[in-house]
Amino acid sequence: MLESVQNYYGKVLQHSNDLKTSACCDVSSMPDWLKPLLAKLHPQVTERYYGCGLVAPAVLEGARVLDLGSGSGRDCYLLAQLVGHQGQVVGVDMTVEQLAVANAHLQYHAEQFGFANVEFRQGYIENLDALGLSDASFDVIVSNCVINLSPDKDSVLREAYRLLKKGGELYFNDFHNLAKRHGFADPRLVEDRPIAITDPKLAAKLGNTRFYSATYRLFKLDDLEPACEDHGQAVIYHGGIADAPHTFVLDKHHHIETGKVFPVCGNTYRMLHDSRFAPYFSFIGDFSQHFGIFQGCGSVLPYDNDNGTANLGACC
Ligand SMILES: C[S@@+](CC[C@H](N)C(=O)[O-])C[C@H]1O[C@@H](n2cnc3c(N)ncnc32)[C@H](O)[C@@H]1O
């Protein structure tokens, strides 16, 4: 399995246009605020982008970020600009050809950004220990169209949980129940969209099988409850997060408007209170009362099947 994936991404594919599905999004669907950052990237890096979904969560300045399956480095070089000179981005990939493209342009991007804060390591995302990455050393882990390819997803999720600091989050595509098994108690769906199989031969073989791209955020928080419980709590978003002056989008079901008292379940309260988002919010209530299950928190499975019209913002 690993060998055939390596062969596909290293040798078969040479360009995003070689992909056989619509999983990879074009630049037009990228949020406007990311476009100037994308424009700074070397064309050889963007030409070998094979990802989907959105992997640029808010409030990254100064963060240490790990990209699992970083490919040619497109997301790493985008994130490098978001974490800034005090942050760091580490990309891990197993495929020599992809890493060669990523590494070839380290100097180019350092000059573009005015600082060097990216490094790439060759290895397997199932065994990050072998790369010397230590426990609780990353604020955010992202992964773009990679974990679905792993033959040992249990190890990937276990490693991600180990490497995250408390309050840190894994921002990636797919695998709700697996995530729960590894301690990410309340996976939050950020966006989803159907993937079209554009290769007619492949489509004929697949029949009625449907595929979706889904982006999740998973917080490493010890005290999350198995269900969304109503403790009578609320939050107020005060603005201040770049590119979210009017609304902060935690996930598909939480569009939190600036200045509005926004009732939340206990888990949402903790995701905002015990993470890097806390400075942008006021918090009302505590856990001393319990009113039962919180209605309307939402965890939609299967995903929307509406050609993407319900998506939040744009996919990357
Ligand atoms: C679909 S591409 C996505 C690449 C990149 N995230 C992007 O958005 O362009 C999948 C990448 O994951 C890498 N990959 C897949 N399985 C892996 C594994 N088990 N360990 C390390 N890298 C892996 C492949 O080498 C390939 O570069």
The predicted-structure confidence for 80-92, as pLDDT tens digits, reads as follows: 999 999 999 999 9
- Top pLDDT among 295 and 284 is at 284
315 — pLDDT class (breaks 50, 70, 90): very low
**Does the pLDDT at position 302 exceed 60?**
no
Q: How far apart (Å, rounded) are the C-alpha atoms in residues 268 and 12? A: 43
Distance 146 CA to ligand 1 centre (A): 5
Model confidence pLDDT, tens digit, residues 103-114: 999 999 999 999
Phi/psi-derived region of residue 14, left when phi > 0, alpha when psi is between -120 and 50, beta in every other case: alpha
Q: Using a 6 Å cutoff on CB, does residue 19 contact ligand 1? A: no
Confidence of residue 313 (pLDDT cuts 50, 70, 90): very low
Find the mean pLDDT for residues 201-206: 84
Q: For 101-119, give one letter per residue: b (16+ CB within 10 A) or e.
A: bbbebeeebeebbeeebbe
pLDDT tens digits for range 2-51? 787 787 788 777 776 666 665 555 555 678 888 999 999 999 999 999 88
In short, whether 172's Cβ falls inside 6 Å of ligand 1 is: no
Q: Please give the distance, rounded to the nearest whole angstrom, from the Cα atom of residue 135 to the centre of ligand 1.
A: 22
219 CA from centroid of ligand 1 (Å)? 22
Ligand 1: centre distance to CA 86 (Å) = 26
- For a substitution probing ligand 1, which of 9, 171, 195 has the most ligand atoms within 8 Å of its CB? 9
Res 312 pLDDT > 50: no
Q: Which domains does the chain have, with CATH numbers?
A: 2-219 (3.40.50.150), 233-284 (3.40.5.100)
Burial class of residue 211 in the structure, from the number of CB atoms within 10 Å of its CB (0-12 exposed, 13-18 middle, 19+ buried): middle
Task: pLDDT band for 307, please (50, 70, 90 cuts).
Answer: very low
**What number does the ligand 1 atom closest to the CA of 69 have?**
12
CA proximity to 138, closest of 63, 84, 60 = 63
Separation CA 140–CA 128 (nearest Å): 15
d(CA 155, CA 66): 16
The per-residue pLDDT for range 212-264, each reduced to its tens digit, is: 778 889 999 999 998 899 999 999 999 999 999 999 999 999 999 999 999 99
Q: How high does pLDDT run on average in the chain?
A: 87
pLDDT above 60 (res 301):
no
Tell which wins on pLDDT, 131 or 207: 131
Q: Which neighbouring-strand residues pair with 255? A: 249
Return the CA Rg of the chain: 19
pLDDT digits (tens, 9 = 90+) for 64-75: 999 999 999 999
**Is 149 touching ligand 1 by the criterion CB < 6 Å?**
yes
Q: If pLDDT is split at 50, 70 and 90, which confidence band does 316 have?
A: very low
Question: What is residue 82's predicted lDDT score, i.e. its pLDDT?
Answer: 96
> Residue 208 phi/psi, 5° resolution?
-90, 5
Ligand 1 mutation target, pool 93, 101, 159, most atoms within 8 A of CB: 93
Q: What is the per-residue pLDDT for 309?
A: 35
What is the average pLDDT across 169-193?
85
pLDDT at 300: 53
Q: Can you tell me the distance from the alpha carbon of 239 to that of 229, in angstroms, rounded to the nearest whole number?
A: 26
In this predicted structure, the answer to whether residue 194 has a pLDDT above a threshold of 80 is yes
pLDDT single digits (tens) 146-173:
988 999 999 999 999 999 999 999 987 7
- pTM, two decimal places: 0.83
Place of tokens 């600091």: 165
Q: What is the mean pLDDT of residues 259-281?
A: 98
